Amino acid sequence: MANSQQPNVPKKFHLSQNHHMTIPWKSFTTDESVPAKEAGLRERASIVGRVGIVMLSCGTGAWRVRDAMNTVARVLGLTCSADIGLSSLQFTCFINDHSYSQVLALPNTGVNTDKLNTLENFVNYFERDFGTATVKQIHTKISEIERRPVQYSPIISGFAAALACSGFIFLLGGGIPEMICSFIGAGIGQYFRGSMGKQHITTIASISIAVAIACLAYMFSFKIFESNFQILAQHEAGYIGAMLFVIPGFPFITSFLDISKLDMRSGLERMAYAIMITAVAALVGWLVALLFDFRPENFLPLGLSPLMLMLLRIPASFCGVYGFSIMFNSSQKMAMTAGLIGAVANTLRLEMVDLTSVPPAAAAFIAALVAGLIASLVNRYNGYPRISLTVPSIVIMVPGLYIYRAVYSIGINQISVGALWLTKAALIIIFLPMGLFVARALMDREWRHFD
C-alpha cells in the first residue's frame, strides 16, 4: 500500500503564492547615512532599475523609460544599458571595472498618465532635489510615487468612458439614439472593467466581460427606446460605439514609436498586446451581436449642414479625448489640455476627409502631426509629458469601427469585405504614429538623432 503521508515540505509551499513576487527594495540599503552617489554599485543600480520599472508601469514607451534610467544613472555616476519590453526590463549598470545586472517584471500592464507626469518631474529634477540624498530617502520617494492612488473611482471612470464613446459615435455618424445607448453601454462596461481591475482580474477576462456587458447594455437600452419611442431599427448600428472604450490606444501608438527608434522588442510586444486586446473585444462584440441579430450597417443621415456638422464635431472631439484622458488617469488640467488638442486635430481630419480629396489615412497623418506639434509646444510651456497629450488626442482617430466591421465580415465568411475593412484600418493605424514621429523629430533634437 502506498504511503499517504505528506513529505516534509515547508508550510509556505502549500499556500497560495503570488506569481510575481514583491522586490524588497529596502534591503538594498546597507548604510543609511551614506549619500547615494557614494553608495555601492548594487545600491545605486537598484535606484536606476526601480525608476525604470515604475516608469514602465505607467504605459510609456521604451525610449522614455531608457531616457529616465540614463538620467538617473548619470547623476549617480553610472553607465546604464537596458533592454525593455512591454512588462519587463533587463539592465546592467557599470562603474570602473564592475557591473551589476537585474531583471525586473510587472504583473500587468496599464496606463497612468498622472503617475507618469509625477515620475517625469522626479527624474527631471533628480540632481537638484536628490543629488545629496541617501539611497533610503530616494527609495522612500519612489515608493510614494509608486503608491500614488488612482484619481478616479470606477464610477467616474465609467462616466468618462460613456462621455468618450457617445462623442465617438457621433463623430462616426451616429445620431442622438446611438449616442444615448452608447453612453449607457460604455459607462456600465467601463464601470465593471474598473471594478474587475481592482480585484486583479486578468486582462483578457476583464476585457471580454466588460465588452459583453457594454454590448448587452446597449442592446437592452435600444430595445427599450425602440418599443417606447418608435426609434427606427437602423439605429441599432451604434452598438459598436458601446465597446470602443477598450481601444488600446497607448500600446498601439507606442508600439510604432518604439519600432521607429529600433526598440524592436518593446515595439513588437506592444503591438502583439494591442492586437490581442482588439481581437478579443471585436470577437466578443460579434458573438453578442449574433445573439440579437444586429449588424454594423451604415448610420442614418443626420441631415446637418456642413457648417453645423463642423461646429458639433469640435465639442464631440473634445468630449471624446477628455473622456479617454480621464480613463488614462490624467489630471483635470491635463485632460482638458488633451481635449483641446484633440478637438482641433480630429475636427481638422474629419473636415479634410469630407471637403477635400485627401484619403482618410493621409488626413490621419496630418491630424496626428498637428496634434504632435501642439503637444510639443504645450510640453515646453507646462512640462506635461507629450505622450500624455498626444495619445488621448489621437486615440479617437483609431478606426475601431473599421476593425470591428473587418472581424464581423470575416466571421460571417465575407473574407474579401473583411480584408478591405482591415486594410483601411491598418493604413490609418500606421499613419497616426507616423504623424507623431514626424512632429517629435521636428521639435525634439534628441529624438532626431541617436548617440
The one-letter amino acid code at 114 reads D
Write down the pTM of the prediction.
0.88
Cα separation, 149 vs 35, in Å, equals: 29
The Cβ-side half-sphere exposure at 449, using a 13 Å CA radius, reads 3
pLDDT band at 236 (very low <50, low <70, confident <90, very high): low
Cα separation, 26 vs 16, in Å, equals: 25
**3-state SS record for 195-241:** HHHHCCCCHHHHHHHHHHHHHHHHHHHHHHHHHHHCCCHHHHHHHHH
Concatenated DSSP letters of 57-117: HTT--HHHHHHHHHHHHHHTT-EEEEEE-SSEEEEEEEETTEEEEEEEE-SS----HHHHH
Lowest mean pLDDT among 23-27, 245-249, 416-420: 23-27
Lowest mean pLDDT among 11-25, 158-172, 215-229, 322-336: 11-25
pLDDT in tens, 321-346: 999 999 999 989 999 999 999 999 99
CB 111 within 8 A of CB 58: yes
The residue that leads in pLDDT, 269 or 385, is 269
pLDDT of residue 4: 38
> Over 70: is that where the pLDDT of 450 sits?
yes
Lowest mean pLDDT among 31-40, 294-303, 354-363: 294-303
CA 336 → CA 320, 322, 332, distances in Å? 11, 6, 6
pLDDT band at 234 (very low <50, low <70, confident <90, very high): low
pLDDT of residue 115: 92
pLDDT of residue 391: 87
Residue 20's contacts (CB-CB under 8 Å, 6 or more residues apart) are 105, 106, 107
CB 196 within 8 A of CB 210: yes
> Over 80: is that where the pLDDT of 79 sits?
yes
Residue 214's contacts (CB-CB under 8 Å, 6 or more residues apart) are 185, 186, 188, 189, 190, 242, 243, 245
Q: How confident is the prediction for the chain on average, in pLDDT?
A: 86
Domain ranges of the chain: 25-147, 154-447
**Of the candidates 86, 25, 23, the residue with the CA atom closest to the CA atom of residue 56:** 86
pLDDT band at 9 (very low <50, low <70, confident <90, very high): very low
Quick one: DSSP state of residue 412? T
The residue that leads in pLDDT, 380 or 58, is 58
- If one counts every other C-beta atom within 10 angstroms of the C-beta of residue 441, the result is 14
pLDDT of residue 18: 65
> Over 50: is that where the pLDDT of 440 sits?
yes
CB 342 within 8 A of CB 394: yes
Cα separation, 426 vs 1, in Å, equals: 64
User: What sign does the CA torsion over 446, 122, 65, 390 have?
Assistant: negative
The residue that leads in pLDDT, 123 or 445, is 123
Phi/psi of residue 100, nearest 5 degrees: -145, 130
Q: Quick one: 207 exposed, middle or buried, by C-beta within 10 A (0-12, 13-18, 19+)?
A: buried
pLDDT of residue 233: 59
